[in-house]
Amino acid sequence: MVATPPLRLVAVSYLNTKPLLYGLLRNRISDRLRMDLAVPSECARQVTEGEADIALVPVAVLPELPYYEIISDYCIGADGAVATVCLYGDVPLEQMTHIYLDHHSRTSVMLTRLLLEEYWQHEVVFLDAQDGYIDHINGTIGGLVIGDRTIGLDQRFPYVYDLGTAWKKHTGLPFVFAAWITTRKLPQSFVKEFNAALREGLDHLPQLQLLLPSPDPSFDLTAYFTHHIDYDLDAGKREALERFLSYVRTAEPVGHFSDAPGY
């Protein structure tokens, strides 16, 4: 008998994804997966270059894929404040002249552009980020930061704008940052089992928290998993996804990336 090769899965390496991974790892389905973790922009690269069969991808990349199916009712989303996707600065947003766009992100980069255009109606010069860029957020130069690197930053910068909150104020909707997709045709039975495994993870948050280190004394992991990250890909998030993707499909490529003054 020829053994079926495992499906290649890539998922976001941040804390917010651990409950979903915990579910997969508790379940026998993980025997059929080769699992890899990466920052969101790298998850997107692996999917667009055909290196993964199943992925938790930043949704902004979906219009670039020739074929995909959303295979899960679970996602990385938020209904209001998400806590770990924020714009930081020394000055209020209306005084910012430049904004670094986190190179780990695909979705929040586009969400920042959308909100600046439609909601804040403020024009800035976007700056290409690289490792260490957070130390260059100062004066009138703000920065988008996503994921675990945001933990503790609200004590470092006087101005913090949560993108989940801003989107909710702008549209009245929740938001979806990343969704589980496949670029192949998978049997319905597999998809059903996959979803049940993800659910299992979400149902065992207290057990998972026994395994996870506490990231920072000021960061409440329970509140993060239960009040900030909203894992259900429900009707409101699907509506938000359609609205967000219609912006992404028509957005001009950012042509004015430049080096920060004095970088």
Ligand X SMILES: C=C(O[C@@H]1C=C(C(=O)O)C=C[C@H]1O)C(=O)O
Distance CA 74, CA 119 (A): 28
Q: Which residues contact 188 (CB under 8 A, 6 or more apart)?
A: none
**Exactly one of 72, 105, 182, 183 binds ligand X (CB under 6 A); which one?**
105
Instruction: Considering only the stretches 19-27, 64-72, 105-113, 251-259, report the one whose residues sit in contact with ligand X under the rule CB under 6 A.
Output: 105-113
Please report whether residue 183 would count as binding ligand X according to CB under 6 A.
no
Please report whether residue 165 would count as binding ligand X according to CB under 6 A.
no
**Exactly one of 19, 23, 40, 143 binds ligand X (CB under 6 A); which one?**
40
CA angle 83, 168, 250 (to 5 degrees): 105
Distance CA 43, CA 233 (A): 19
Considering the complex, state which of residue 19 and residue 58 has its C-beta at the smaller distance from ligand X.
58
> In this structure, are strands 98-101 and 141-146 parallel, antiparallel, or unpaired?
parallel
Please report whether residue 85 would count as binding ligand X according to CB under 6 A.
yes
Query: Taken in order 160, 164, 167, 169, is the CA torsion positive or negative?
Result: negative
Instruction: Considering only the stretches 77-85, 127-135, 199-207, 235-243, report the one whose residues sit in contact with ligand X under the rule CB under 6 A.
Output: 77-85
Please report whether residue 13 would count as binding ligand X according to CB under 6 A.
no
First to last CA, the chain: 59
Q: Which residues contact 149 (CB under 8 A, 6 or more apart)?
A: 104, 134
Instruction: Considering only the stretches 63-71, 103-111, 203-211, 255-263, report the one whose residues sit in contact with ligand X under the rule CB under 6 A.
Output: 103-111
Please report whether residue 27 would count as binding ligand X according to CB under 6 A.
no
Distance in Å, CB of 147 to ligand X, minimum: 4
Query: Interface with ligand X by CB under 6 A: which residues?
Result: 12, 14, 16, 40, 58, 76, 82, 84-85, 105-108, 146-147, 177-178
